[in-house]
Amino acid sequence: MTTIKEIARLSGVSRGTVDRVLNNREGVSEETAARVKAIAKQLGYKPNKAGMALAAQKKKYLIGIIVFSRKNPFFDKVIEGFTERAEELAFFGCEVTVKRVAYHPEAQLSAIEACVEEGVQGLIITPYNDSKVCKKLNSLIDNGIPVITVNSDAENVRRIAYVGSDYYNSGSAAGALMQLMTHDKVNIGIILGDRNILCHSQREAGFRERLAEDGRFNIVCCEENYDDDLKSFEIVSNMLNNHPEINGLYFTAAGVYGGCRAIQERAIGRDIRVITHDDVPTTIDMLDKGIITATICQEPEWQGARSLEIMFNYLSSQEPIDIRSYYYAQLNIKIRETK
Amino acid sequence: MTTIKEIARLSGVSRGTVDRVLNNREGVSEETAARVKAIAKQLGYKPNKAGMALAAQKKKYLIGIIVFSRKNPFFDKVIEGFTERAEELAFFGCEVTVKRVAYHPEAQLSAIEACVEEGVQGLIITPYNDSKVCKKLNSLIDNGIPVITVNSDAENVRRIAYVGSDYYNSGSAAGALMQLMTHDKVNIGIILGDRNILCHSQREAGFRERLAEDGRFNIVCCEENYDDDLKSFEIVSNMLNNHPEINGLYFTAAGVYGGCRAIQERAIGRDIRVITHDDVPTTIDMLDKGIITATICQEPEWQGARSLEIMFNYLSSQEPIDIRSYYYAQLNIKIRETK
DNA sequence: TTGTATGCGTTATCAA
DNA sequence: TTGATAACGCATACAA
């Protein structure tokens, strides 16, 4: 294994100089730098992570993450992936602070403020789509605190990257699945989360567009449940009562449990294909009970882990690294038998 | 952060002694050991990985993996996951040797022998189900070289763990998917890999059993392709010619590409549901072309990574750790829109 | 512009 | 049975 010491010996300079050259610090003559670089390259020098880690323990990078509260258990998994990766990065000097707040702009604003006061050097957030929040995020960015959006993106925020799923695609996949799992005429009800939330409407668009090409499908109604289970129960109950022809339901977002309870009670004996997203415990339960036909998952643990990884690399790399703007999660379809 | 140095200071002994106590080395008086242990526990001592890594670089653990050859690109992904994890573990002193051999007992036997000669301390293998191979593996185990089976298990081999998918379940999932994606009467053709390979026949059993409960399904034929694309082309061609009523095909194993080529050529205008396993490039291609309806994947990268991780933990842990006997991969369903 | 010295936490070796 | 010390590879403060 090639070490700095080795390179120093071969190029006839000290370890300090080699360090300066390899980490692009200043104060080295061009010729020395060139010689050292050449030798390092020739030997295929790779810095030893253990050594780096050990030396990096004095530094610390504090990274904050803000996602929505426990009322939405999807984020449990995001945080799980995040925390796991945080433990791995801990010995490179990575520290984290996790905030879970209500689905409300004010709550987010104060969480952001709290992160800043704790001194975070980078912020990962599932942003509430609100102009005050966006403005606040941009002001952080102006003050040198980079931002990564996770699971949900924000327009006009100059974040370095978005990590999450491609919502249009996932809606489209839901449509494709509905096609594969039905035959003849299908009458569909859509249960939206919130039309004002970009990702919910993107899923709806993907789903609709996919089915628009197919004459078998007729979308008979579309309602918002605002991610609330009680509201969802009510909406779906009404849908099923008012539209006895419905034999397909698509939930673009949360509130799945409430909706499924309505199906259990109001659709006895009816054969309805139900497609949802994610696999929170209540969804798994309804999959088990045969109420949900299939659910499309989006690697929540990966989203948490990957966003932290990107942020940490960004903060700890000396030279600018290239970062993509979008990191999309894989979509995994689950049915009762593969949950 | 609690360090050995800190514990040494507080318990009034040297770092060397603390190290001896915490790593269960001998040569420490009971009372000293007890005191040190108590203090370490009280402070919640966790060894620092960076420090361990740095000190562990002189040691080395050589771990071998033997899987099947490039003719089966599924194993590319297993090796990918394996290699990636190997890089992470490299700075804990983990070295690996990878062997890819033909689907043949003799080839496996000589690969095992080669590993032993290289001095591996642990072996990970996708075993060919053959008595000579099993005997050989057991003799390694008797000589203190632990074995983990990956992707495919071997009966009567005293391996410490199996990492792979639950084949009966995945066949059953394929059956469930076939149910969801069809209606009315369905006539099925099954393309097996090799009846003598346990996992292929397990998938078949899971699939059959699942559909047996459902009067809609009739399995009209079942042939072996021995994982060969040409043979597979021939079999499927004949199936489609001899059974114009077939409208569902299930591939339990490889040879998917050859079979799909036959579908392309011999089933023009017929509407056939095709369910396969894994997502090798040719399968993705056929998914794209609309020949394959859905494919059930089994986290090959995870299998490679996890098996190495278990083996490394086993080898490097001082005290015996508890290891489960079975580590099952998650099943992920993919359709064209989610590939 | 360059070199030297020191420390990060753990482990191993040698001396007591 | 214990203690002292060196070593792993890297980073950096300080000296030259």
Q: What Cα–Cα distance (Å) separates residue B198 from each residue in A78, A184, B203, B332?
A: 37, 40, 9, 22
pLDDT computed for residue A31 by the predictor: 87
pLDDT at A66 over 70: yes
B49/D3 CA-to-C1' distance in Å: 25
Q: Is the pLDDT of residue A136 over 90?
A: yes
Statement: the CB of A19 is under 7 Å from strand D: yes
* Helix ranges restricted to H, A23-95: 30-43, 49-56, 74-90
Query: What is the four-CA torsion angle of B141, B144, B149, B155, rounded to 10 degrees?
Result: 20
pLDDT class for A318, splitting at 50, 70, 90? low
For A158, list phi and psi in degrees, rounded to 5: -85, 50
Residues of B in contact with A296 (CB under 8 A): 338
Residues within 7 Å (Cβ) of strand C = A 12-17, 20, 26-29, 31-33, 54-55, 57-58; B 1, 3-5, 15-16, 19, 22-23, 47-48, 50-52, 54-56, 58-59
* Token pair belonging to B296: 């059930």
pLDDT at A88 (0 to 100): 84
CA-to-CA distance for B22 and B313, rounded, in angstroms?
17
Judge whether B252 and B202 are in contact, CB under 8 Å.
no
Helices (H), B216-319: 229-242, 256-266, 281-288, 300-316
B17 in reach of chain A (CB within 8 A): no
Count other C-beta atoms under 10 Å from residue B160's C-beta.
16
Q: Are A13 and A36 in contact (CB under 8 A)?
A: yes
* Largest distance between two CA atoms of chain A: 85
**pLDDT computed for residue A320 by the predictor:** 67
Strand residues in chain A grouped as ranges (E): 61-68, 94-101, 122-125, 147-150, 161-164, 186-192, 217-224, 248-251, 273-277, 294-297, 326-328, 332-334
Q: Which amino acid is at B239?
A: M
Read off the tokens for B305.
Answer: 């990574």
More confident residue, A212 or A72: A212
Residue A254 structure tokens: 């949360």
Burial class (CB in 10 A: 0-12, 13-18, 19+), A203: buried
Least Cα distance to A197 among A250, A252, A239 occurs for: A252
Tokens 């694309």 sit at which residue? B229
pLDDT confidence tier of residue A219, bands split at 50, 70 and 90: very high
A149, A126 Cβ separation under 8 angstroms: yes
pTM: 0.90
Residues of chain B under the 50 pLDDT cut: none
Among candidates B46, B318, B100, B257, which has minimal Cα distance to A87?
A: B46
- Tokens for A271, please give them: 């054969």
Average pLDDT over residues A217-243: 95
Return the number of CB contacts < 8 Å for A and B.
Answer: 80
Residue A196 has pLDDT above 80, yes or no: no
Query: Which of residues 91 through 150 in chain A touch B, CB cutoff 8 A?
Result: 91-92
pLDDT tens digit sequence for A32-55: 888 888 889 888 888 888 888 888
- Name the nt closest to B15 by C-alpha to C1': D3
Q: Among candidates A327, A324, A329, A303, which has minimal Cα distance to A84?
A: A303
**Does position A192 have pLDDT exceeding 90, yes or no?**
yes
Bases in strand D with any atom closer than 7 Å to a protein CB: 1-14
8 Å CB contact between B189 and B254:
no
Burial class (CB in 10 A: 0-12, 13-18, 19+), B178: buried
- Of the given ranges (A11-15, A96-100, A283-287, B63-67), which has the lowest mean pLDDT? A11-15
- The confidence band for A87, taking pLDDT boundaries of 50, 70 and 90, is confident
A247 touches chain B (CB under 8 A): no
Q: Which residues make Cβ contacts (< 8 Å) with residue B212, sequence separation at least 6?
A: none
Task: Answer whether B279's CB lies under 8 Å from B295's CB.
Answer: yes
Q: Which of B176, B246, B257, B165 minimizes the C-alpha distance to B212?
A: B176
Q: Which nucleotide is nearest to A6 (CA to C1')?
A: D9
H or E element: which one contains B224?
Answer: strand B217-224
Indicate the range of A170-174, A296-300, B29-33 predicted with least confidence. Answer: B29-33
Task: Kindly give, in sequence order, each residue whose CB lies less than 8 Å from that of residue A90, ignoring residues fewer than 6 positions away.
Answer: none
Stretch A91-115: mean pLDDT? 92
At residue A115, the pLDDT reads 97
Is residue B285 within 8 Å of B59, Cβ to Cβ? no
> If you average pLDDT over every residue of chain A, what do you get?
92
For residues A105 and A128, is the Cβ–Cβ distance under 8 A?
yes
Q: Give the per-residue pLDDT at B315.
A: 87
- Which runs of E-coded beta strand occur in A151-200? 161-164, 186-192
Burial of B24 (0-12, 13-18, 19+ CB in 10 A): exposed
Packed helices A229-242 and A256-266: angle between N→C axes, nearest 10 degrees: 40
Q: What is the radius of gyration, based on Cα positions, of chain B?
A: 25
Q: What is the mean pLDDT of chain B?
A: 92
Residue A330 contacts B where some CB pair is shorter than 8 Å = yes
Q: Are A121 and A62 in contact (CB under 8 A)?
A: yes
Q: Closest nucleotide to residue A5 (Cα to C1')?
A: D9
DSSP class per residue in B129-198: S-HHHHHHHHHHHHTT--EEEESS--TT---SEEEE--HHHHHHHHHHHHHHT--S-EEEEEEES-TTSH
For residues A322 and B137, which has the higher predicted lDDT (pLDDT)?
B137
Q: Looking at this protein, which amino acid is placed at residue A181?
A: M
Length reported for chain B: 339
Q: Which residues contact A245 (CB under 8 A, 6 or more apart)?
A: A187, A220
